[in-house]
Amino acid sequence: MAHPANPFAVDRRSLFAVSALALGAASLWRPTSSFAASQPGDWPAWAPPQSRLESDISALRARAVDIRRFGAACNGTTDDSAALERAIAGGAPAVMISGPMRLTRPVAISRGFGIFGQGKGPHLIWAGPTGSPLSVSPESNDPDSFVRNIVVDGIHATTIASQRSKTVMLRAVNIRGLKVTRCTADGIGLASVGHLRMDGSGYDRAKGSVTVDPAVLAGFSPNSLDDLNEDIYISDNTVDYGAYQGSILRFNMARRVIAVGNEGKYAKISWWGGGAKHDQGGMPQFLRRVSEVYIADNTMRGANGGVYGNNGQKVVVARNRISDMSDVGVDFEGCMDCIAYDNRVTNAGNFCYSTFYVARNIVFRNNYGEQDGTIPETIRREKMSKIGAQRGLSMAALQSGGFATSLDAITVSFIGNEFVYSGPGQLGVCTPSYFGSMVFQGNRLRNVTVDWTYRATERLVIKDNVLLFDRPGNKPMVLIGGSAPKGEISGNRVELATALPAESVAIGYTVASNRIDLAIRNNAVNASASRALPLVVSVKRNIQGNAQISGNTVGGVVVSPVLKRPNSRFDGNKTSEGRAITPNFMARGLLPTP
């Protein structure tokens, strides 16, 4: 399948350049394997070509000095922390480690520097009691100062048994220009990026409100992203954290971030650009302090989420393979102008694809999601944390708490996705919340219902979807539903290969508003007479506006009496046998409770 062009890409100056530091003898060694993949067709326009990033890494590798020149034993038992510190203090542009180098305390890096591994390793053994073995931060505590151009390539990092699953290989604070490539992390996470304005005492989201951005109180600019971390490139790494849950990459307050081709067992990729709740920095007028992000072609399993984060903008999530997450697969929280496409999520405790809080212009397109009923047992077996209901039923979800009066902040589309529930006993679901606009179009679903009924919604389109049911479920369900006063349900096809529980409804719509613009037309429910289900519209008030219910093939049409007026149409509805349907104007109590 052709990958769509990045819709949020913008032209920018070339980034990620490695400083031309030249000290010490050049090594003739080159890695035996090249970088894993060629540049994807949807590579962001704001980044330099992938080949340039890789050639910059290779150029710095050629200048690396053997760490043994600085007194490192590299025998796995001697503490080599001082040797690495001497290399950094002595001005070497980079060091080469053939390993194993044992570190017992975090080694501070406050200038451009490269660390390269030669051979299989392990190259770095972490034996410190706390912290991260590689600790990058400016010499000054000035939050406007940054370390520039750090490269870690080809390092196999591990940790002693007593320290497993407690840290990351590299922690950077205030970084501009970070590359971590072709590394292996065993029993330790890979990388995290923080900011001095949030890692110290400055940022406190509890000080925010609907009119006050706590990031501004902490000293971040109210109208510019020029004070963020920048230019982070994480590629072709492998992480086995050893237990729930670790990270391939966690990045906070950052822009221009690329994470491609990584593999994570018990590991994830996540971000944080500020508190996303309405009274903690998440109001749509505040800046999203994670911006221009490309997360593609990664494989992850066994954490709380695969790819997720708070307060991002222009985030692209593409072609990732995500499985066995205790909470979510792909999740945008407090985010704007983000897209997820061609991803595959199997088994998430709560939601395969979701948004929380602000979700303005969020698109899920051509993704695959499947729940097979095994995730509750996986959560128990792996001792994963309790997060929500963790039923493993929901394919697509909104969780918009706090924004019921800000409907323009919730505009989400699910287009061309495939959702499958293959577990026993139940049916898969979509999970609704507040929205200003929801478009659910051209999706293919198997044993999954599409009911977006929720109060305080505005505009809903459910169009041209195909639903197949070959399992009966365990309770009455609305197969396609909504409640927005502006609604279109059209061109959908439902195939019933089995009888569903009594009182189930093929298409159900409940409107509490007294203004309505509703069209339910040209939908087809293909079923034998014994499996036929009705179309039900329940309007709770006298209305103004229009309702058109026409051209549907269903088991029957049942509507509220208030729709029996000249501006409503009920023409061309029929049964699957071709018999014309006359509406029954008695809808009260016929819609199952979600």
- Token duo for residue 274: 């500020």
pLDDT of 33 reads 54
Residues 142-168, mean pLDDT to the nearest whole number: 91
pLDDT of 70 reads 98
pLDDT of 4 reads 44
Answer yes or no: is pLDDT of 201 > 80. no
Q: Give the Å distances, CA to CA, from 111 to 46, 83, 183, 569.
A: 25, 17, 21, 72
pLDDT of 406 reads 84
pLDDT of 6 reads 46
- Token duo for residue 71: 């007194």
Answer yes or no: is pLDDT of 76 > 70. yes
The answer to whether 454 and 480 are in contact (CB under 8 A) is no
Q: Of the given ranges (197-211, 392-406, 472-486), which has the lowest mean pLDDT?
A: 197-211
The residue with greater pLDDT, 4 or 267, is 267
Closest by Cα among 225, 326, 235, 310 to 276? 310
Contacts of 96 (CB under 8 A, 6+ apart): 27, 29, 61, 64, 65, 66, 67, 116, 117, 118
- d(C-alpha 282, C-alpha 106), whole Å: 34
As a whole number, the mean pLDDT across the chain is: 91
Q: pLDDT for 413-449, tens place per residue?
A: 999 999 999 999 899 999 999 999 999 999 999 999 9
Could you tell me the pLDDT band of residue 23, with boundaries at 50, 70 and 90? very low
pLDDT of 36 reads 64
- Token duo for residue 463: 């169009």
* Residue type, position 215, single letter: A
pLDDT of 510 reads 93
pLDDT of 294 reads 98
pLDDT of 162 reads 72
Residues 213-232, mean pLDDT to the nearest whole number: 96
pLDDT of 528 reads 86
Could you tell me the pLDDT band of residue 55, with boundaries at 50, 70 and 90? very high
Contacts of 11 (CB under 8 A, 6+ apart): 45, 46
pLDDT of 231 reads 98
* Residue type, position 341, single letter: Y
pLDDT of 20 reads 29
- d(C-alpha 378, C-alpha 312), whole Å: 30
pLDDT of 594 reads 66
- Token duo for residue 347: 């088994």
The DSSP call for residue 428 is B
Angle, CA of 159, 161 and 165, to the nearest 5°: 65
| Residues paired with residue 113 on neighbouring β-strands, in sequence order | 150
In which residue are the tokens 């979510």 written?
A: 328
The residue with greater pLDDT, 577 or 112, is 112
- d(C-alpha 424, C-alpha 501), whole Å: 15
Phi and psi based region of residue 314 (left: phi greater than 0; alpha: psi -120 to 50; beta: remaining): left
Could you tell me the pLDDT band of residue 586, with boundaries at 50, 70 and 90? confident
Residues 152-165, mean pLDDT to the nearest whole number: 87
- Token duo for residue 48: 């330099």
Provide the CB-side half-sphere exposure for 297 (13 A, CA): 16
Q: Of the given ranges (138-142, 200-204, 586-590), which has the lowest mean pLDDT?
A: 586-590
- Determine what percent of the chain is predicted with pLDDT higher than 90: 80
Q: pLDDT for 299-310, tens place per residue?
A: 999 999 999 999
Q: Determine how many CB atoms are found less than 10 A away from the CB of residue 444.
A: 15
pLDDT of 564 reads 83
- Token duo for residue 21: 């530091």
- Determine what percent of the chain is predicted with pLDDT higher than 70: 93
Residues 236-244, mean pLDDT to the nearest whole number: 95
Residues comprising the chain, all counted: 594
Phi and psi based region of residue 236 (left: phi greater than 0; alpha: psi -120 to 50; beta: remaining): left
pLDDT of 3 reads 42
pLDDT of 34 reads 64
Q: pLDDT for 552-574, tens place per residue?
A: 999 999 998 888 877 789 999 99
Contacts of 344 (CB under 8 A, 6+ apart): 320, 321, 322, 367, 368, 369
Q: pLDDT for 334-355, tens place per residue?
A: 999 999 999 999 999 999 999 9
Q: Of the given ranges (24-28, 212-216, 463-467), which has the lowest mean pLDDT?
A: 24-28
- d(C-alpha 313, C-alpha 330), whole Å: 15
Residues 396-417, mean pLDDT to the nearest whole number: 94
